[in-house]
Amino acid sequence: MAENNVVTFLPVLPNGELVGSAAGLLGAAGRLGSPVAVIVAAPGQGQAAAAAAGTFGAQRVYLAETPQTQSVLTAPALEAVAAAVGATGAEAVLVPNDVDGRDIAGRLAVRLPAAVAADAVGIARDAEGNVVHHSVYGSAYTTESAPTHGTLIVTLREGAVDERAQAAEPTVETLEVPEAGSAAAEITGFSENLQASTRPDLRSAATVVSGGRGLGSAEGFALAEQLADELGGGLGASRAAVDAGYAPNSYQVGQTGVTVSADLYIALGISGAVQHQAGMQSAKTIVAINKDPEAPIFDIADFGIVGDAFDVVPQLITRLKERAGGGS
Amino acid sequence: MKIAVLVKEVPDSYGERKLDTTTGLADRGASDRVIDEITARAVEAAVSYADSAQDAEVVLVTMGPESAESMLRKTLAMGADSACHISDEALTGADLGLSAEVLAAALRRIGFDLVIAGDVSSDGTGGLLPTMLAQRLGVAHLTSLDSAQISETEVSGERGTYGGTVSLRADLPAVVSVTERMPDPRFPGFKGIMSAKKKPLETLTAADLGVDAQADVPRSIMLSVTQAPARTAGTKVTDEGEAGTQLADYLAEKRLV
């Protein structure tokens, strides 16, 4: 059987850990062929990340360690991915649909040249080749796309692929990152986000609790935090809550903001404007609590409660604890 | 200093947007056509720099159907100097690769020191075009900027990344894309609206730009379009003091907690 190499780019956090999208990328790659990981890390951080890629199913890892990853935008990763594509003759390249992934995909697509499929929610292989699934207009439509020929580049929506590849013992090959082949921006500084929390990443969390304007204040928003932590879920917010200063920008769920792919989405005090729905309506189960019985969120909620979240949520938490403590 | 701003006409995302399930194209009659809000912010970034700079010229560039011309006229009223509209039936349904080829050719023809775009469009949600243009034009990209500082010779800004914020800079020429964290677009005044009517607006075809839409290069093609079944409302209860408990039982029953 011919070996279909599928190159995935796995971003690395400042602390050297792989970003949460890695498991889904390698899972999707495993569906198409043999998963090959590309990791570009600061010196000394690569081996641990490469080993982690193995646990997510990478058969082979191309590893580049370079301080340039902290000083030059995109170019080191682009050169590493291009080198891995050249070395493996990859038929597909998967990158996460995040800012760095998009930059790599855009430049690589022009450079090869290759067809690029953006914001995919799934990939399959049929007799004709690779078929990419998209969810568009805020999940109102699903579309399928395919390349006419050549290598396919895909930006994969984070959290969209549930499939996981079997853990492997990868062969690790070291890449020397060549000088950037084109003009690149300089990274002049990095400030760590002090609000980094232990909560799961919003994009890929199985459970997401979001708070809206209806929570009334930044103090009120703590109710959403409390429930998210109780459920071990990610924490999100509507644009109205972000604009009102209840929550930071990075929490925003919606068309401008994060698209979640949760099994359970709980909306507290969110009316559910179309823009918000675009970011969450593909959640498998939607629960809404809102005082306004006419709120549009109820039109798409599997379980809607017309009521005050400040009454309902504490009772919900108490009952969940009872159930957990009941040993049943 | 010449700043080219990429603007885009999109279906109004506050209304219902439709795709034609036969052609796979946007059903343009189904919803209002508006300027993509994120690209209006890109225009704001350009005109607010031009307001404070000597000899700064702002050119709007779009690729889109005939209807996009009125969007360009309206947007010129924000203070841009001229507009370029690439409109060609042969470009209907163009994929990202073809769009980038066309827009890069237009930008070369117009000339630029800085290109400003929105980071992700509300209809395509790709977020790839600005970087594809930078690669085609051989210049640096600074994408998804939450803030931007422009000078005669360089552009800098900040963007969110995993675990924090990075600061970026590049010498001009460069391609920049901005996020919705950038300042709100201004409302054009009466004077702006009147003067916009007389501003130069050039219309170009793919052939004018030397682009062959049928060239045998790798393309992404759409195979199928299906309308997702509409989500329907499930159980809806009014809290009479027991709803929290009911919800806990519902979640437990569905094995969601």
pLDDT at A255 over 90: no
B130: preceding bond cis by omega (within 30 degrees): no
Q: Which residue has the higher pLDDT, A171 or B23?
A: A171
Q: Which of A15, A150, A320 sits opposite B218 (nearest CB)?
A: A150
Do A300 and B231 make contact, defined as CB atoms within 8 angstroms? yes
What sign does the dihedral A235-A236-A241-A242 (CA atoms) show? positive
pLDDT band at A1; cut points 50, 70, 90 = very low
Residue B18: both structure tokens together: 């439709």
H or E element at residue A119: strand A115-126
The reported pLDDT for the residue numbered A196 is: 52
- In contact, B255 and A323? CB cutoff 8 Å: no
- C-alpha of A229 from chain center: 20
Check residue A242 and give its pLDDT.
93
> Would you say A184 and A241 are in contact if contact means Cβ atoms under 8 Å apart?
no
* Cα–Cα dist A321/A316, whole Å: 9
Cα three-residue angle A162-A316-A270, rounded to 5 degrees: 70
Q: How many helices (H) and strands (E) does chain A have?
A: 8, 15
A327 pLDDT exceeds 70?
Answer: no
pLDDT band at A199 (very low <50, low <70, confident <90, very high): confident
Nearest to A306 among B95, B225, B239 (CB): B239
pLDDT of residue A157 exceeding 80, the answer is yes
Question: In what order do the strands lie in the sheet containing B201-204?
Answer: B140-145, B174-178, B114-118, B2-6, B57-63, B82-86, B201-204
Structure tokens at A38: 């590309």
Between CA A96 and CA A107, with CA A101 as vertex, the angle to 5 degrees is 140
Q: For residues B179 and B165, give the distance between their C-alpha atoms in angstroms, rounded to a whole number.
A: 14
Q: Is the ipTM of this complex over 0.90?
A: yes
Judged by CB atoms closer than 8 Å, whether chains meet at A14 and B162 is answered as: yes
For residue A179, what pLDDT is reported? 76
Cα-based distances in Å from A292 to A215, A244, A246, A288, A309: 13, 19, 20, 11, 11
Q: Which residue shows structure tokens 């903001």? A: A257
The owner of tokens 């823009």 is A275
Nearest residue to B187 via CA among B69, B79, B68: B79
User: Can A5-174 and A207-325 be said to share one CATH topology?
Assistant: yes
pLDDT over threshold 50, residue A210: yes
> What are the residue boundaries of the structural domains of chain A, listed by start?
5-174, 207-325
| A55 interfaces chain B, CB cutoff of 8 Å | no
User: What's the distance, CA A40 to chain centroid?
Assistant: 18
Task: Please check whether residue A198 touches B, CB under 8 A.
Answer: no
- The ranges of chain B with pLDDT < 70 are none
Q: Look at B221 and A145 and tell me if their CB atoms are within 8 Å.
A: yes
Please give the model's pTM, rounded to 2 decimal places.
0.90
Tokens of A107: 């430049």
pLDDT in tens, A222-235: 999 999 999 999 99
Query: Does residue B85 sit at the A interface (CB-CB below 8 Å)?
Result: no
> Tell me, what's the pLDDT at A224?
97
Q: How far apart are CA A34 and CA A88, in angstroms?
A: 10
The pLDDT value given to residue A235: 96
Return the percentage of chain A with pLDDT > 70, whole number. 97
Q: If you count DSSP H runs as helices and E runs as strands, how many of each does chain B have, helices first?
A: 6, 14
Helix (H, G, I), strand (E, B) or coil at B230: coil
pLDDT of residue B51: 95
Q: Which fold has domain B2-209?
A: Rossmann fold (3.40.50)
Please tell me the distance from the alpha carbon of residue A215 to that of residue A200, in angstroms, as a whole number.
22
Cβ–Cβ under 8 Å, residues B101 and B72? no
Q: A128, A173 in Cβ contact below 8 A?
A: no
Mean pLDDT of A107-117: 97
Its CATH architecture, for the domain A207-325, is 3-Layer(aba) Sandwich (3.40)
Task: Give the CATH class of A5-174.
Answer: alpha beta
Q: Could you tell me the two tokens for B40?
A: 């209006």
- Give the per-residue pLDDT at A281: 87
Element containing residue A54 per DSSP (H, E): helix A46-55
Under DSSP, is residue A254 helix (H, G, I), strand (E, B) or coil? coil
Pull the structure tokens for residue B141: 């990209």
Res A328: pLDDT: 46
Residue B239 sits at the chain A interface (C-beta within 8 Å) = yes
Domain ranges of chain B: 2-209
User: How confident is the model at residue A52, as a pLDDT?
Assistant: 97
Is the pLDDT at A107 greater than 50? The verdict is: yes
Say if A51 is an interface residue toward chain B (CB within 8 Å): no
**What pLDDT sits at residue A211?**
97
Place of tokens 């891995």: A84
Contact state of A118 with B134 under an 8 Å Cβ cutoff = no
Overall average pLDDT of the A10-35 stretch: 93
Least CB–CB distance from A312: residue in B139, B174, B247: B247
| Binding-site residue ranges of A for FAD | 213, 238-239, 252-256, 269-276, 290
Give CA–CA dist A146/A161, Å, rounded.
Answer: 18
- Asked if the bond preceding A113 is cis, omega within 30° of 0, the reply is yes
DSSP percent split of chain A into helix, strand, coil, nearest 5: 30, 30, 40
Q: Which sign, positive or negative, has the C-alpha torsion A293, A297, A303, A309?
A: negative
Distance in Å, alpha carbon of B3 to nearest chain A alpha carbon: 18
Q: How far apart are CA A3 and CA A30, in angstroms?
A: 11
Q: Cα–Cα distance between B195 and A139 in angstroms, integer?
A: 41
The mean pLDDT value of chain A amounts to 92
The set of residues, in sequence order, having a beta carbon less than 8 Å from that of B10 and lying 6+ positions away, is B33, B34, B35, B36, B121, B122, B123
C-alpha to C-alpha distance for B87 and B207, rounded to whole angstroms: 11
Q: Report residue A6 as tokens.
A: 């599928």
Q: What residues of A are in contact with residue B119 (Cβ under 8 Å)?
A: 99
From A285's Cα to the closest Cα of chain B, the distance in A is: 9
